[in-house]
Amino acid sequence: MKKNIIIAIIISATGLSASAQTDTTINKNVVVVREYNPTISDANKINLIPEIQKPEIKTPTFSYSFFTHPLETSFEIIPLTPATLSSEPRRDYDQNYISLGGGNYSSLFGELFYNAFHSDKHSLSFFANNRSSFGKVKMEDGSKNDATFVKNNLLLAYKHQFWGTYLTANLGFSNHNYRYFGYQTIKPDSVSYMALNDTNNVVLNQADITYPNQKPGYASFKANFVFATNPSIYDETAYKAELYYDHFFTRMDFKEDLIGLKGFFEKPVGDNLAGGALDVQYGMYNVPDTALYKDFNNFTYIDFSPYFKLNRNTWNLKLGLNAFFNIQKDKTDYLVTPDIDFNFNLIEKLFTAHLMAGGNYRLNDYRNSIQINPYMTPELNVMPTQIPLSLEAGLTGQLTPKIVFNGSVNFSIVKNNPFYINEFYITDTSQVSSVAYSNQFTAVYDDMNVLTVKAAIDYAGNDRYSFGASGAYYNYALDNLEYAWHLPDYEIKVYGSFVPYRNVTVNVDFTTISKREALTQDAIGSGVTERTQLKAVYDLSLSGEYQYNNRLSASLNLNNILSSNYYYWNGYPSFGFNVLAGVKYRF
């Protein structure tokens, strides 16, 4: 690993989109269905340092995604990502706090937020948290496996406010250690295995297979620096430049370094806007010297998106394109897609609609892939995915002053989408039909068309209660594969918040996700394809907080109340009914 990296900072012109649709009363941004990452009961998440961005004054919209993510244990939280802090902090800068707690499955958690100082020009804050469990989970054969995990996050965030501009600097560290605890049919005492999906027919010795008693894990050190204009005056030129560095490494001695520069530039042209966005990344790999790690090449990734926006009183139209380039030593992959977004009023102040045509390119780099599926084989290099065309029509409306809804229909053409299946091995080299699978996952690829229908409705209620529901339906048309492995057909969520008594807040959340198909035996070599259906998710969770005074509060979380035995990935069952209780002290 090189200790010194010389960074050539590229000054680029890029842009933040906005619109002139200023006359609207729909001020509640309804998130219909988040990216398929159903953390069944999310713990509190905070963003400590805001990156103030020039807002788009248009119809509230939502992003779509059909790329699978693992079902998280119900009391885990999504790791804090300093490089993407973008929203306002949820807590007062002067409200430092520490929280501690625990529950069954030998679970523990702790958080600390400390604001060193805060003024009109400067702020410096520190955040740390830990989520861990040392419990066991019942497996398919009746045994219990150790499902230990430990997650830690640290963040140091600084902001300096100038007149009209600001500078932020974030330094963060995170790590996630866990076990391959999932059920498998491979027996650790076997002498050797042959990888069915290995084109070289490499015979793997016992030492090459990772078993449940080994502890995988990964960690990341991140730093980012942002210099940008404040969006206080919309008629002025706006810009933003962000320089970031991410050092990622695993316990399997795999290292990936990412250096990047991204930003935007936007300038008014009469009543309209012209601008563009640019993201340039350079990735470097340092992998173990073994035949299992192959095809990991350093890369340069460029995403350039120029556009022009027409703004009128009742509509706005964005005309642009997205140009993606993935440059490696032996090949260059590129994709050019439209970037068109038309927003207009159907009924002023009540109903707005949007039509969109776009596309995307996903690197599927190692750090993102292992966070999506931490149980993938340590040497897996997931290939990039292209979305050459994505068409969407959406509608947002206000039925009453307290009821808003949001819905959309999306059709996407996807090339080379990864689907995770268990790694297969031949347990007896004299009989190719003797197939077993491990508790690690590899990827198979296919092209497909995806139809996505999403809808949500929210009732604001009053200060004492609010509730809502959201849902999504997915239809996959695959070219070659029989099923979209591990992807759901639908997901529905119903949620509410209540204040039954003074200083008491109660949140209820019910999530259901359809059955999903998993491959349990490959047709390659054996001539047989077998599959299993992962049970549908029915998860009911309840959380409450009691505010004793301005400094002291207590919380209680009841997760998976129905004790539904659903699966993250094939062979990986969830925890059953689990309880977390904690206290928080503000200082």
Residue 71 has pLDDT above 60, yes or no: no
pLDDT for residue 375 is more than 70: yes
**Cα 228 from Cα 52, distance rounded (Å):** 9
User: Cα separation of 545 and 585, whole Å?
Assistant: 13
Structure tokens at 582: 């904690």
**From CA 585, how far away is CA 197, in angstroms rounded?**
53
The Cα angle at residue 428 between residues 423 and 432, in degrees rounded to 5: 70
Q: Assign 433 a pLDDT band (cuts: 50, 70, 90).
A: low
Q: Is the dihedral of CA 126, 88, 399, 490 positive or negative?
A: negative
Q: Are 572 and 439 in contact, with CB atoms under 8 Å apart? A: yes
In this prediction, residue 59 carries a pLDDT of 29
Return the SS3 of 370.
helix
pLDDT band at residue 384, thresholds of 50, 70 and 90?
very high
The reported pLDDT for the residue numbered 438 is 83
The secondary element (H helix, E strand) that includes residue 371 is helix 366-372
Higher pLDDT, 71 or 359: 359
Pick the more confident residue, 513 or 36.
513
Q: What is the mean pLDDT of the segment spanning 189-208?
A: 44
Helix (H, G, I), strand (E, B) or coil at 76: coil
What single-letter amino acid sits at 427? T
Lowest-confidence region among 99-108, 230-239, 251-260, 508-517: 230-239
Task: Name the token pair of 469.
Answer: 């529901």
pLDDT of residue 430: 53
pTM of the model: 0.80
Residue owning tokens 């492995």: 485
pLDDT of residue 460: 86
Q: Using the predicted structure, report yes or no on whether residue 468 has a pLDDT greater than 70.
A: yes
Place of tokens 């830990």: 130
The pLDDT-based confidence of 530 (bands split at 50, 70, 90) is confident
pLDDT band at 154 (very low <50, low <70, confident <90, very high): very high
Average pLDDT over residues 88-111: 80
Distance of CA 480 to CAs 137, 147, 449, 483, Å? 35, 35, 12, 9
Q: What is the pLDDT of residue 37?
A: 38
Q: Which stretch of 34-38, 120-124, 545-549 has the lowest confidence by average pLDDT?
A: 34-38
> What torsion do the CA atoms of 545, 549, 550, 555 make, to the nearest 10 degrees?
-20
pLDDT at residue 189, rounded to an integer: 53
pLDDT recorded at residue 540: 96
Least confident segment among 129-138, 182-191, 506-515: 182-191
Domains of the chain: 82-586 (2.40.170.20)
For 26, phi and psi rounded to 5 degrees? -85, 90
Which among 4-8, 20-24, 479-483 has the top mean pLDDT?
479-483
Ranges 14-18, 314-318, 496-500: which has the least confidence:
14-18
